[in-house]
Amino acid sequence: MKIKRIKFIRIILLLIAVGQFAVVKAQKVLPIAFGDMDNWVVREIHESGIIGGNTKYLYELGPTDTIVGNTAYHNKGGSPWANSNVMAKVAGVVKTNTSVFPERRGEGWCARLETRMESVKVFGLVDIEVVAAGSMFLGTVHEPIKGTKNPQAMLSSGIPFTEKPIAICFDYKVKLSPEKNRIRSTGFSRKTTVAGQDSIAAILFLQKRWEDEDGNVFAKRVGTMIQRYTASSDGWVNEATYPILYGDISSHPDYKPYMQIQVEERYTLNSKGKSVPIQEIGWAEEGEEPTHMILQFTSSHGGAYIGSPGNTMWIDNVKLVY
């Protein structure tokens, strides 16, 4: 009888082990296109003489290429990625910002995102400084940038996406500025201090979007993942995996205030080709399917022109887990 009991227990343990193996085998880990950070487009831009006439280089995730000339950039080769490297042309003056860089990692490459002070001298006399955070996101930029008013309206945030992954996975390294407060510098007003330490963030939203007859775009939040980093890492963290929480997570133990609905205003192009805000109006019901995915990595969390210079994030091998 005792032998039979032991044999039965062994069978149960075997079934449990097989079941666990099946769960692991059932998972899929799929890379996001160009998420291995190994292919970059290099853009050679010549800034206007009035601000020094320098040659600057901008970097975009896409099929390996070099583009020489002051031409607006559009995502190449099916790459879904855009970033904060942009060319502006205001009143005929061409200026660039570079805060995302390719960096060697082993035999391949990764992306380095920096928060830095971008400065420019007009006629060699007037010195303008702007806080520029490094940001990579799924979407597009409407180049050339034609002004500093409402920077988010110059971006189209998110891509069409109808799946429901259980997590996002990526390699990262972070270095945080020791400053306890942040700087706000727009270039058109004096620098000010913003209370609170800066943080580095990874943000993923799954949204169900729709458009009304007037071209307004609305959304409900289907899935949420926000990870903030407030301390420097000890080197690279490989295959960091963060679960995506579905439905109304306001009562979930992992919910944070910065996960709330409409935490910041983001824009998209409507069916008329106009840049309009995505009006996120609530949590999606259980079982609702997404239409779009927002994914962003940023070296500062406070929005345009706010951050702590020195904050740096390295990103590599971005994948979705199913």
Q: What is the pTM of this model?
A: 0.87
pLDDT in tens, the chain (322 residues): 444 443 433 333 332 233 333 233 348 999 999 999 999 999 999 999 988 899 999 999 999 999 999 999 999 999 999 999 999 998 889 999 999 999 999 999 999 999 998 877 666 655 678 888 999 999 999 999 887 678 889 999 999 999 999 999 999 999 999 998 898 877 667 788 889 889 999 999 999 999 999 999 999 999 999 999 999 999 999 999 999 999 999 999 999 999 999 988 999 999 999 999 999 999 999 889 999 999 999 999 988 788 889 999 999 999 999 9
Which amino acid, one-letter code, is at 311?
N
Indicate the burial class of 81 (C-beta count within 10 angstroms; 0-12, 13-18, 19 or more): buried
Which amino acid, one-letter code, is at 98?
T
Which amino acid, one-letter code, is at 111?
A
Which amino acid, one-letter code, is at 300?
S
Beta bridge partners of residue 105, listed in sequence order: 108
